[in-house]
């Protein structure tokens, strides 16, 4: 994929330049990457609900964040609908731009994250029946959108996009990780289905989604690491996308733990026991690699800050992947009984809240000043 730095003639919706001439903001330049803000906000509520925190205070805070994510999703869906109706040429250009098209995976994950939060914390606000119904709709629509993106975006990369040598990017993971989000959040709906075939089918569908996303991720991750080793660090504005690698790692750990929780009473006891063992045997090594990648990505982000990296919408890349590591660590704490994983989850959650607060504040300020919806300038190395 030609990155934004290597294709200056393409439209860059992920990193508008600071100090660009002021132009009237328009939804014409509202790209699919904006769904990352919804994902990053919703994951705070989802991760908070998974932590071993007691008392009404944390629960209420999670409900407030969930409500905000719902409003953001509805607003963005409306704005993106206007974008497609009034600026269809730009929308099609986004699909044909290898630097932008992978962000269409964010739509599915935004729907899924908000749906998961609705069932996890929103049920206390709107009632359990409404929460289950809303999550079922959002999970179904989000899963279908995720499957479409996981197939369509690679197809476009093969047939329509011009992929430059050494242009592999963590952004390529976005459409591939969406099915993993479905696998992680689908188990919460299992108890609400009729016992027997329906519950078993959903559980095994989630395992299939897990395998689909995992194997696709394993094909792309070596390309990303090879690009870094052979071509050096990413352009400054794209450096936060290194955190996207944490997404499939943390989300897959979350998925196997949630699937193990849903298995008893749904499948044969021996299979349920094996699923519980797999959650630990898979989750612990993957979480270890996630921490290694977190250290590497943090070091490269610090390097980018020292070289003048300014704010762009790529900063939302810090949020959702960290949130998946929080839920993954919380799941491992439950299945291993180790308080160390509880402390890890709480520590990562503190970083997540800070990242969302900073990205949200800077985004709100950029919208108020009209910078984020103006035609972006190309990113330079």
For residue 6, the model assigns a pLDDT of 33
| pLDDT surpasses 80 at 235 | yes
Distance of CA 322 to the CA centre of its chain: 9
Average pLDDT, the chain: 90
Report the alpha-carbon distance of residue 257 to residue 374 in Å, rounded.
43
Residue 132 lies inside a defined structural domain of this protein:
yes
For residue 53, the model assigns a pLDDT of 77
| pLDDT surpasses 50 at 13 | no
pTM of the model: 0.90
| pLDDT surpasses 60 at 11 | no
Residue 361 lies inside a defined structural domain of this protein:
yes
For residue 378, the model assigns a pLDDT of 52
3-state secondary structure of 267: strand
Residue 279 lies inside a defined structural domain of this protein:
yes
Please enumerate in sequence order all residues whose Cβ is within 8 A of that of 232, keeping only pairs 6 or more positions apart, or say none: none
pLDDT above 70: percentage of residues in the chain = 92
Please enumerate in sequence order all residues whose Cβ is within 8 A of that of 103, keeping only pairs 6 or more positions apart, or say none: 13, 14, 31, 32, 33, 35, 36, 94, 171, 174
Residue 376 lies inside a defined structural domain of this protein:
no
Please enumerate in sequence order all residues whose Cβ is within 8 A of that of 113, keeping only pairs 6 or more positions apart, or say none: 38, 39, 42, 43, 46, 69, 181, 185, 320
Number of domains in the chain: 1
Residue 20 lies inside a defined structural domain of this protein:
no
CATH code assigned at 216: 1.50.10.150
Radius of gyration (C-alpha) of the chain in whole angstroms? 20
Could you give phi then psi for residue 340, rounded to 5 degrees?
-60, -35
Q: What pLDDT digit, counting tens, does each position of 287-326 carry?
A: 999 999 999 999 999 999 999 999 999 999 999 999 999 9
**Distances in whole angstroms, Cα of residue 229 to Cα of each of 88, 183, 346:** 38, 32, 32
For residue 376, the model assigns a pLDDT of 57
For residue 88, the model assigns a pLDDT of 87
Q: What pLDDT digit, counting tens, does each position of 44-101 carry?
A: 999 999 998 777 888 899 999 999 999 999 999 999 999 899 988 888 998 999 989 9
Residue ranges with strand state E in 53-173: none
Residue 18 lies inside a defined structural domain of this protein:
no
Range of the domain at 194: 30-369
With contact defined as beta carbons under 8 Å apart, do 173 and 248 qualify? Answer: yes
Residue 379 lies inside a defined structural domain of this protein:
no
Residue 24 lies inside a defined structural domain of this protein:
no
């Amino acid at each position: 994929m030609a990155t934004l730095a290597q294709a200056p003639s393409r439209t860059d919706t992920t990193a508008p330049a600071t100090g660009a001439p002021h132009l009237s903001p328009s939804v014409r330049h509202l790209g699919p990457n904006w769904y990352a803000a919804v994902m990053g906000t919703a994951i705070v509520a989802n991760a908070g609900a998974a932590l071993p925190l007691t008392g009404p205070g944390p629960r209420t805070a999670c409900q407030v964040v969930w409500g905000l994510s719902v409003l953001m999703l509805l607003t963005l869906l409306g704005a993106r609908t206007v974008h497609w109706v009034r600026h269809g040429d730009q929308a099609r250009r986004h699909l044909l731009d290898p630097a932008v098209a992978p962000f269409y995976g964010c739509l599915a994950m935004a729907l899924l994250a908000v749906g998961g939060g609705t069932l996890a914390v929103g049920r206390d606000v709107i009632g359990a029946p409404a929460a289950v119904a809303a999550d079922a709709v959002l999970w179904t629509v989000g899963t279908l959108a995720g499957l479409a993106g996981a197939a369509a975006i690679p197809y476009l990369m093969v047939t329509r996009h011009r992929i430059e040598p050494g242009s592999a990017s963590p952004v390529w993971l976005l459409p591939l990780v969406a099915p993993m989000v479905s696998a992680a959040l689908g188990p919460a709906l299992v108890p609400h289905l009729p016992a027997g075939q329906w519950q078993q089918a959903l559980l095994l569908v989630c395992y299939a989604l897990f395998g689909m996303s995992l194997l696709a991720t394993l094909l792309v991750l070596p390309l990303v690491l090879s690009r870094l080793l052979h071509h050096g660090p990413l352009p400054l504005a794209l450096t936060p996308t290194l955190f996207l690698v944490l997404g499939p790692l943390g989300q897959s750990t979350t998925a196997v733990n949630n699937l193990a929780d849903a298995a008893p009473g749904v499948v044969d006891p021996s299979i349920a026991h094996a699923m519980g063992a797999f959650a630990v045997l898979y989750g612990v090594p993957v979480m270890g690699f996630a921490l290694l990648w977190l250290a590497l990505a943090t070091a490269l982000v610090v390097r980018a800050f020292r070289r003048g990296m300014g704010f762009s919408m790529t900063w939302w890349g810090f949020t959702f992947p960290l949130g998946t590591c929080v839920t993954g660590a919380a799941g491992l704490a439950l299945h291993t009984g180790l308080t160390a994983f509880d402390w890890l989850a709480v520590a990562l959650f503190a970083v997540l809240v800070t990242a969302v607060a900073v990205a949200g504040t800077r985004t709100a300020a950029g919208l108020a000043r009209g910078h984020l919806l103006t035609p972006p300038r190309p990113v330079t190395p």
